[in-house]
Amino acid sequence: MDLYEHQARQLLADHGILVPRAKVTDSADRARAIARGLGGRVVVKAQVKTGGRGKAGGVRLADDPAAAERTARRILGMDIKGHTVRTVMLAEPVDIEEEFYVSYVLDRAAGRFLAIASAEGGTDIEEVAASRPEAVARIPVDPAEGVTSAKAAEIAAAAGLPPQTVDPLVRLWQVLVREDALLVEVNPLVRTREGQILALDGKVTLDDNARFRQARRGSDDCGHDDPLEAAAAAKGLNYVRLDGEVGVIGNGAGLVMATLDVVAGCGARPANFLDLGGGASAEVMADALAVVVSDPAVKSVLVNVFGGITACDAVADGILRAVDRVRPAKPLVVRLDGNNAVRGRALLDERAHPLVQQIPTMDGAARRAAELATTA
Ligand code: GDP
Ligand code: MN
C-alpha cells in the first residue's frame, strides 16, 4: 500500500527525521485559516499517490492566507496523472540551499535492499538518473546488517551528500524496518540556509503482508481508495477493480489471472479481479456477485470455477442463491469444471434462470461473456 505524502511524513517525523510543520485539509476555506496558523506564507501541496506533482502544478507557494485559499481552490479537484486531488497539505515554506535524493527500496532479484542517493535531488531526478547515472549512487544494503552510522556514512560519501545526512539516513532505515515498508523515499531531502537537514517530501510503500503485526495501522486505513475494493475487503474477498466491462469471478488467483487473459484474448476487457478463494460457499458467492455487479461498468459477469475442495454442486447452489439474493440485472456466464461438475451443471440447468447461461469450456465462456459485454 502506498501512503499519501502527509502520512509518509508523519512516519518520518515519528522516527526523528525533521519535517516542516504542516496540516491537511479538503477545504479551501480552511486552507486560509491553516496558512494563518503556519505564519502566512505556505507551500500548498496536492495529496495524490503519484509523483511529479510539482511539475504538474500541484505544489505551489502562497505568500499569504488569501493566496493560500486561492491556491488550494485551484489545486483541489485537479487531475494529476489520473488522480483527482481531494486534499491539500499546507506546509511551512523552507529556504532550500541544496536538494538531495535518498531512498531504500527492496531489490527482490538480489534478495537485499538498495540504498539510492544523489546530491542532485529534486524534481529532475529521473532525468539525472537517465542522463548521468554516475550522479546517482546505488549501494546494496544487507537486510540483516541494516544501515548503521558507518553504512550511512558510506552511502552519503558515495552520493556526495554532506555528513549531516548520516543521521537522517539511519533514521530512514528505521522507518523502513519498524514500519514494514518496501520503499521509503525522500525527494527532496534538503539542506536549509541554516544548515538543517529536512525532509520536504516523502513516499512510503508499506508491505501489506505485514499489516497483522502493525497494530497502529487503523482499520479505516487499509489502503483501499476505491469504495468497492473497500467493501470487498470488508467481506474478506480478494477483489481488484480494473477498467473493463466483463466482471470476473473465479476461485484461486492463478485461475482468475488466466481468466483475465482469456477475456482480453476475446477482445473484451476485464472489469475486475475477484478470487473467491478456497471454500466458495453460497454466502461468499453472493457477496462476490454483489460486489461485481454493483460496478456500473460491468456489462456481463463470467464465473469461472474449477471445483476442488469446494464441489461444483455447492458452487452452483451458491450461484443460484446469490442470484436470488442480489437480483443482478446483468447476464452471468458460468463455466463449472472439476469436482462434481456434472451435478453442478445439472443444478443450474434445472433452475434455468434467464440470466444464467452455462458454457462448459473456459474459452467458450469467456467468448460468450465478451460478446454479451460488447453488445450490451
Ligand atoms: P513532487 O513533485 O511530487 O515530488 O513534490 P515535492 O513535494 O517533491 O515538491 C516538488 C518541489 O517543490 C521540490 O523538489 C522542491 O523543489 C519544491 N518545494 C517543495 N516544498 C518547498 C518549500 O517549502 N520551499 C521551496 N522553496 N520549495 C519547495
Ligand atoms: Mn518529491
Question: Is-catalytic flag, 185?
Answer: yes
129 and 103 in a common domain: yes
pLDDT tens-digit series, residues 279-329: 667 788 889 999 999 999 999 999 999 998 888 998 999 899 989 988 989
Nearest alpha carbon, ligand 1 atom 12: 54
Per annotation, catalytic residue among 99, 120, 154, 185: 185
Which one-letter DSSP state was computed for residue 91?
A: E
Do 275 and 355 belong to one domain?
Answer: yes
Percent of the chain at pLDDT above 70?
Answer: 97
Q: What is the mean pLDDT of residues 40-56?
A: 96
Going 207 to 209 to 213 to 219, the CA torsion angle's sign is positive
**CATH code for position 66:** 3.30.1490.20
In the chain, which ranges are continuous DSSP H helix?
A: 5-14, 28-37, 65-75, 125-131, 149-159, 166-178, 227-234, 253-265, 282-293, 312-326, 341-351, 362-375
Do the domain assignments include residue 112? yes
Residue 25 lies inside a defined structural domain of this protein: yes
The answer on 280 and 195 residing in a single domain is no
Q: For residue 350, how many other CB atoms are within 10 A of its CB? A: 10
* 1, part of any domain: no
> Are residues 85 and 100 both part of a single domain?
no
User: Could you tell me the residue range of the domain that residue 153 belongs to?
Assistant: 96-216
Q: Does 13 map to a domain? A: no
pLDDT at 310: 82
Let me know if 4 is a catalytic residue: no
In the listed set 174, 191, 216, which residue is the last one of a domain according to the structure?
216
Closest residue CA from atom 3 of ligand 1: 53
Q: At what angle do helices 65-75 and 28-37 cross, to 10 degrees?
A: 140
222 occurs within a structural domain: no
Same domain (yes/no): 286, 212: no
Q: Mind listing the pLDDT tens digit for each residue in 171-207?
A: 999 999 999 999 999 999 999 999 999 999 999 999 9
pLDDT at 127: 95
The domain boundary, picked from 91, 123, 141, lies at: 91
Residue 217 has pLDDT above 80, yes or no: no
Query: How does DSSP assign 24-64, residue by residue?
Result: EES-HHHHHHHHHHTTS-EEEEEE-SSS-TTTTT-EEEESS
What pLDDT, on the 0 to 100 scale, is given for residue 213?
86
Lookup result for grid cell 505556505: 42
Q: What confidence tier does 228 reach under pLDDT thresholds 50, 70, 90?
A: confident
Question: What residues are paired with 61 via a beta bridge?
Answer: 43
- Shortest CA distance to 187 belongs to which of 61, 92, 63, 53? 53
For residue 68, pLDDT over 70 is answered with yes
Q: Are residues 254 and 360 in the same domain?
A: yes
Q: Which of 168, 192, 216 represents a domain boundary (last residue)?
A: 216
Q: Minimal CA–CA distance to 4: which of 62, 51, 69, 59?
A: 51
- Residues 72-79 have a mean pLDDT of 97
> Looking at the DSSP assignment, which residues form a beta bridge with residue 88?
25, 46
Grid coordinates in use for 53?
Answer: 506533482
pLDDT band at residue 223, thresholds of 50, 70 and 90? low
Rounded to the nearest whole angstrom, what is the distance from the C-alpha of residue 208 to the centroid of ligand 1?
A: 28
At residue 4's C-alpha, the angle toward residues 166 and 163, to 5°, is 10
Q: What is the 3-state secondary structure (H, E, C) of 205-232?
A: EECHHHHHHCCCCCCCCCCCCCHHHHHH
Mean of pLDDT over the chain: 94
Average pLDDT over residues 340-366: 96
Is residue 245 located within the same domain as residue 261? Answer: yes
pLDDT class of 220 with cuts at 50, 70, 90 = very low
Claim to verify: residue 356 and residue 236 sit in the same structural domain: yes
What CATH number does residue 109 fall under?
3.30.470.20
Same domain, 327 and 210: no
Strands of 177-243, DSSP E: 181-192, 197-199, 203-206, 238-241
Q: Assign residue 256 the CATH number of its domain.
A: 3.40.50.261
- Ligand nearest the Cα of residue 124 is 1
- Rounded Cα–Cα distance for residues 37 and 299 (Å): 50
Tell me, yes or no, whether 33 lies in a domain.
Answer: yes
- Phi (first) and psi of residue 98, to 5 degrees: -145, 145
Same domain assignment for residues 125 and 73: no
Both 241 and 360 in a single domain? yes
Number of domains in the chain: 3
Q: Is the CB of 374 under 6 A from ligand 1?
A: no
CB atoms within 10 A of CB 354: 7
Is 316 inside any structural domain? yes
- Which grid coordinates are listed for 23? 496540516
Q: Is the peptide bond before 188 cis (omega within 30 degrees of 0)?
A: yes
Q: Do residues 246 and 311 share a domain? A: yes
